[in-house]
Amino acid sequence: MTREQIETVAMALPAATKVVQWGGSDVYKVGGKVFAICGLRGGLSFKVSEIGYAALTEGGPARQAPYLHKGSWVIVELDAADDTDITDWLTTAHALIAAKLTRAAKRELGLA
């Protein structure tokens, strides 16, 4: 999947926004909180659950994301993963971060 395709998928998620920061990385957020970063070290970094972290890093296509040591973040190379998997991972990352927003923020963003 290309960076442009990742942008299309990420921006189709409810209340998603994009900023470019950290040396040209595409940073995707929901409610001002990051759920995925494309371009950091040439890959796609995203939030995962603890179970997802274990599954993706223990023999899977991912490794612990650099600079994001807390909170179960992984990074995958864009050419090392199936497009369907990337879409699923972005959707899950978005949902994990959106779930942590306050009720008021969810209402304001149309997520509740």
Q: Is residue 57 part of a domain?
A: yes
Establish if 108 belongs to a structural domain.
no
Kindly state whether residue 110 falls inside one of the protein's structural domains. Answer: no
pLDDT over threshold 90, residue 79: no
Domain count, the chain: 1
Q: What's the pLDDT band for 50 if we cut at 50, 70, 90?
A: very high
Q: What is the pTM of this model?
A: 0.94
In CATH, what number is assigned to the domain containing residue 66?
A: 3.90.1150.30
* Alpha carbon distance 52, 65 (integer Å): 13
Q: How confident is the model at residue 70 (pLDDT cuts 50, 70, 90)?
A: confident
Q: Which residues of 56-68 are buried (b: 16+ CB within 10 A; e: fewer)?
A: bbeebebeebeeb
Band the pLDDT of 104: cuts 50, 70, 90: very high
In a domain, 111, yes or no: no
Is the pLDDT score of 41 beyond 90? no
Decide if pLDDT at 66 tops 90: no
Q: Which range of residues forms the domain containing residue 39?
A: 3-103
Q: Is residue 12 part of a domain?
A: yes
pLDDT of the residue at 106: 97
Check residue 10 and give its pLDDT. Answer: 98
